[in-house]
Amino acid sequence: MACVCAILTLALLNCAAIFTRADLPGTWELLVANAGISSMHTAVTRFNTVVLLDRTNIGPSRKMLPRGHCRNDPSDAVLKRDCYAHSVQFDPQTNQIRPLMILTDTWCSSGQFLPDGTLLQTGGDLDGHRKIRKFEPCEAAGSCDWVELDDVELADGRWYATNQILPDGSVIIVGGSAANTVEYYPPRNGAVELKFLADVKDTQMDNLYPYLHLLPDGHLFIFANNRAVLYDHQTNKVAREYPPLDGGPRNYPSAGSSAMLALEGDYSTAVIVVCGGAQYGAFIQKSTDTPAHGSCGRIVATSPDPVWEMEDMPFGRIMGDMVMLPTGEVLVINGAQAGTQGFELASNPCLYPLLYRPEQPVGLRFMTLNPGTVPRLYHSTANLLPDGRVLVAGSNPHFFYKFKAEFPTELRIEAFSPEYLGPDRANLRPVIEGVPETVRYGERFEVLVSVPLSVVGIVEVNLGSAPFATHSFSQGQRLVKLAVTPSVPDGGTRYRISCVAPPNGMVAPPGYYMAFAVNQGVPSVARWIHLVS
């Protein structure tokens, strides 16, 4: 069954289009027909707003900056006086768009939230190569905007790098084009060579946007091309090498994706999944029709004798985004079945999302979901929203905005609702009525929930991070399942759940998390918790 084939029915609900295919789970909703920009980078803030970013040197967008707010750049080859927005704030509650002003080029940059909820944004192209920026989010009606730091810059220029917050709240910035090094924010003794990145670089690169996961022992799992290492960020040394992953290169420009499965129990075990990718040579040959592969590797990164367990997705897929859901399952969405990353280098859009169910045996882990109708190719994103939906944005496989093409620049923002938000699950959906705003490591605290029907079993309380999504990888993505006691009735349909916060910053780095109550696989709307030491 080809991903582009879909039998769709269309209904209207609250002036938003809902797309369904009766025999497949999940629904699609058009939120905004014109966001003004095509989002290359997307992040959800603790105020339930969404920050979207594109390049600054892309020429006119479809959203103007406020009157009198223009970017003057004599070196810009397209617009030396640019009065168009290249970043916006989106409010999913009202579907309103507010333009933001960013000055330096964020093309293929990286990002991560700091412990205080500020979005750190690093690198890019041209005048953004060494730039560090911050966005301190505010309520939807506020006036917060980007701030470009002038008193500090990156030690190495970073283009196609990856960021990860560390247990102490600092951020490591890894790799990039011609940057086989790591460095830190706040700065820590400049850039440090990471020879591994140079060793795995092939003739078409394939070491860019490395996959970076903080393990619960405090080490970093760094994956590039088809290999991975365990990195000690305190000594800046490789602690071990993992066996290669079969199936060819998986990183930019070969466009697979990766996620660390939910941490739970005693938090001593971390499982990494790497899925999809382009055939080696597709990027060099500029081939748009070379079939992508659909193989996935899964490895227990904390095992003393780790090996890759292999399985196949229902479809070959490049540029798929892997989104951790509140339940611990993983949504694979967006992408194409042929070609590679890069401008106008992919074809055969893969419209079918997949649900990866970690607890199922090999061969039964993937479930095909209801297809969308909007191709999401190069420069598209997917992010979990606090209400459990997945925000889908972007797709611009062209150097500039191009609206008359087989796969045009995409300005629409959609939401995909997994099956757990279906009307048949409404009676199971819990509502968080009380939760602390701040929780300390190892602290026991209570969550008060109500459920329309009687609770069966234990209601989970799971913490989900807010990652920085770009180029088929969500930087800093994490889900932690808390230790809980059985729900205690508190009158009517209300229940008290006693939870224990994560023990330390290795399990969950400090910062803001979406706290979900999950009843029989159905998550609540999240409440934000500030996790501190």
**What are 436-481's pLDDT values in tens digits?**
999 999 999 999 999 988 766 689 999 999 999 999 999 999 999 9
**Whole-number pLDDT of residue 441:** 98
Cα separation, 36 vs 96, in Å, equals 11
Domain holding 468, by residue range, is: 427-532
Write the DSSP assignment of 187-229 as a string of letters: --SS-EE-HHHHHT-BTTB--BS-EEEE-TTS-EEEEETTEEE
The residue with tokens 């909703």 is 29
66 within domain boundaries: no
Domain count for the chain: 1
Mode of pairing for the β-strands spanning 527-532 and 438-440? parallel
CATH of the domain at 521: 2.60.40.10
| C-alpha distances out from residue 16 to 3, 38, 203, Å | 24, 20, 46
Q: What pLDDT score was predicted for residue 456? A: 65
**pLDDT averaged per 10 residues in sequence order, the chain, 533 residues:** 38 43 90 98 98 95 95 90 97 97 96 98 97 98 97 97 98 97 96 97 96 98 98 97 97 96 98 97 95 97 98 97 98 98 97 98 96 98 98 97 97 98 94 97 97 81 98 98 93 92 98 97 97 97
* Spatial distance between the Cα atoms of 422 and 417, rounded to a whole number of angstroms: 8
Radius of gyration for the chain, computed over Cα atoms and rounded to the nearest angstrom: 22
Round to whole Å and give the CA distance between 466 and 517: 17
Is 247 within 8 Å of 295 (Cβ atoms)? yes
| Cα diameter, the chain | 67
CA distances from 82 to 69, 78, 132, 246 (A): 9, 9, 21, 46
271 in Cβ contact with 260 (< 8 Å): yes
Give 109's contacts (C-beta < 8 A, 6+ positions apart). Answer: 41, 53, 121, 122, 123, 124, 128, 158, 159, 161, 470
Identity of residue 127: D
For 447, half-sphere exposure in the C-beta direction (CA atoms, 13 angstrom radius) is 35
pTM listed for this prediction: 0.95
Burial of 277 per CB tally in 10 Å (0-12, 13-18, 19+): buried
Q: Is 482 a member of any domain? A: yes
Annotate 322-343 with DSSP letters as a single string: EEE-TTS-EEEE--EEEE-SST
Identify whether 503 is part of a domain: yes
Helix (H), strand (E) at residue 161: none
pLDDT (0 to 100) of residue 18:
57
Going from the C-alpha of 502 to that of each of 44, 236, 513, the distances in angstroms are 22, 26, 12
Task: Confirm whether 492 is domain-assigned.
Answer: yes
Q: Is residue 212 assigned to a domain?
A: no
Q: Which residues pair with 277 in a beta bridge?
A: 293
- ∠ CA 110-113-118, rounded to 5°: 115
Is residue 500 in some structural domain?
yes
Query: Looking at the chain, how many residues does it have?
Result: 533
DSSP 8-state symbol, 371: -
pLDDT in tens, 78-114: 999 999 999 999 999 999 999 999 999 999 999 999 9
Rounded-to-integer distance, Cα 388 and Cα 385, Å: 5
For 216-284, strand residue ranges (E) read 220-224, 227-232, 237-241, 257-260, 271-277
Residue 438 falls inside a structural domain = yes
* Domain-located, residue 526: yes
